[in-house]
A and B are shown apart, each in its own frame.
Chain A
Amino acid sequence: KAGVTQTPRYLIKTRGQQVTLSCSPISGHRSVSWYQQTPGQGLQFLFEYFSETQRNKGNFPGRFSGRQFSNSRSEMNVSTLELGDSALYLCASSSDRGGTGELFFGEGSRLTVL
């Protein structure tokens, strides 16, 4: 069974640009979550999608957005990039409707903003 796939793995952008990251969940998983990992901050929840609907959202500015498609694949977008957006962005999928928290993570997309 293929795992969670994230693309691209690495990317470099400059301030003010926008970026789109993609996530393909494990086959059959309908829940996709996004997390930002920065040094010293751990993993911070961005948002979660279930069956194409945003089910929950973290405390990030509106520059961070996402969506989920009918095949459960998800994308997240960051507009007007800032230096502080440099981070590892992790996608996780789950078959659960909610609550048990056993998430399966991808390897992440490492974004560097110059």
Chain B
Amino acid sequence: DQQVKQNSPSLSVQEGRISILNCDYTNSMFDYFLWYKKYPAEGPTFLISISSIKDKNEDGRFTVFLNKSAKHLSLHIVPSQPGDSAVYFCAASSKGGATNKLIFGTGTLLAVQP
């Protein structure tokens, strides 16, 4: 049972345009959401997060939007750069427990074309 879903395995975007990566979740107990970026032969690196008490969080070119009623979040990258080409993982956790357990989606491969 995939509690966190990224339905687009890949996305191709032109440099300078907006990249929108989507993520859906099924477990209403999730209250903290994160995006990680992964380059080949490297471990994932934390990108941005959002608590369920917010609906938007920005950090430079990256913005995460959360729609709790739809159980949907999205990551916007504006403007997209070739260096953004990587696999992006959406992840969720329940802060109620004293644990760092994250539930990850299957990832979306973003290719930013120069």
Contact = CB atoms under 8 A, between A and B. Distances in A.
Interface of A: 4, 31, 33, 35, 40-45, 48, 50, 55-56, 58, 90, 92, 94, 96-108
Contact of B100 (A42, A90, A101): A101
10 contacts: A44-B104, A45-B101, A45-B102, A48-B101, A92-B43, A98-B99, A99-B93, A99-B99, A107-B42, A108-B43
B83 to A, nearest CB: 19
Q: Looking at chain B, what size class is its interface with the partner chain?
A: 20 to 34
B35 to A, nearest CB: 11
A64 to B, nearest CB: 15
A66 B7 CA distance: 32
Interface of B: 4, 6, 32, 34, 36, 41-46, 49, 89, 91, 93-107
B49 A106 contact: no
Nearest to A58: B101
Contacts of A101: 32, 34, 49, 91, 93, 100, 102
A56 B101 contact: yes
A43 B99 contact: no
A108 B25 CA distance: 26
Contacts of B49: 100-102
